[in-house]
Amino acid sequence: MRWAVLGGGHWGTALAVYLLRQGHTVQLWGRCAKRLPCQPDRVDLFPIFPQCARPENLCCTVDLGVAVRNSEGIVLAIPSHALRALTTTLRAYLPPAALLVLASKGLEMQTTLRLDQVLRETVPNVPLVVLSGPSFAHDLILGKPLAMTAASTSPAYAQRVAEAFGSAQMRVYTSDDVAGVCLGGAIKNVLAIAAGISDGLGNGDSARAALITRGMAELHRLGTALGGRTESFMGLAGAGDLILTASSDLSRNRRVGVGLGRGLSLEAVLREIGEEAEGVCTAQALFQLAQRLGVDMPITEQVYRVLFEGTAPRVASDVLMHRARRSELRMPPDVTLFSGES
């Protein structure tokens, strides 16, 4: 297929190179030519992956119309806050019958909408598949195995993306739970900040495991309230992505939390990381959603208060530990948490 990958950061670059390796034709688009990995005096993927050789057939452009011209598929790998503006502009350049693949994660802060809902407003009636799951750009570009979920209301479109992206390196499952897959990818970033804060405070591995587990309960409560399904939250796009993002030093969101737990300001942490950390903006939208719907999300609430209200990380940790005792089990006993075959 002919693909355009919009987003010249780590994730977009890794996806573009991966698709090239699968035999597809790819145009990689980014806003700034100096940050695209196609520098004329280099043979590597500088400045994104300077340790990796650049494929000879990787084409880069800052011209959106050129990037998507004649494309059969368009991958969106841009920060959530840029999605509405970019896709509003993209509408004028969309080729007939183009298929959109949403590879970004988060919520729109101003509206608290899922990103697929934003696309339904900016590019209505365009076929859409959400691609999500536990996957770091670093692992993808180095050829390490991973698994993802392709979700669409159309089984045919989900299968088309699964076939285009699937390989010996990447196993792609299909789903029709677009809401659940989108929400899992967004909520896990906030919970990863919480896990990082705990680690930055020196709370230890046991505390991190508890936060991840109780974070899963929050993900499930809000996710099902917003129309997602339990199976998705216990699958790759939910539990899988949360475990990865909350546990690995490669996770920018976890690193934000670690810096905060060690006493750095949010501004200092973000400056040190030098890249987008989606969980920061998502925490605000998530807190607003939970308040509006009356969904109990104590971990998310404390992350929000640390990020935006100046609550000290140790105080937030103590608040969680001193909550009123109650039963752990809230889900009906007949809920099936796992389904399908491996």
Which active-site residues does the annotation give? Answer: 188
User: CA 309, CA 168: separation in Å to the nearest integer?
Assistant: 46
Amino acid letter for position 89: T
- Distance (Å) of CA 182 to CA 113, 149, 178: 10, 10, 6
Amino acid letter for position 263: G
User: CA 93, CA 23: separation in Å to the nearest integer?
Assistant: 24
Whether residue 242 contacts residue 229, with contact meaning beta carbons closer than 8 Å, is answered with no
Name residue 99's beta-bridge partners: 73
Collapsing DSSP to helix, strand or coil, 125 comes out as coil
DSSP string computed for 222-273:
HHHHTT--HHHHTSIIIIIHHHHHHH-TT-HHHHHHHHHHTT--HHHHHHHH
In sequence order, the 6+-apart residues with CB closer than 8 A to the CB of 13 are: 28, 37, 45, 48, 49, 137, 141
Whether residue 62 contacts residue 30, with contact meaning beta carbons closer than 8 Å, is answered with yes
Q: Of 66, 52, 305, 322, whose CA–CA distance to 197 is shortest?
A: 305
In this structure, the dihedral spanned by the alpha carbons of residues 37, 41, 43 and 49, taken in order and rounded to 10 degrees, is -30
Q: Rounded to the nearest 5°, which phi and psi values hold at 225?
A: -65, -25
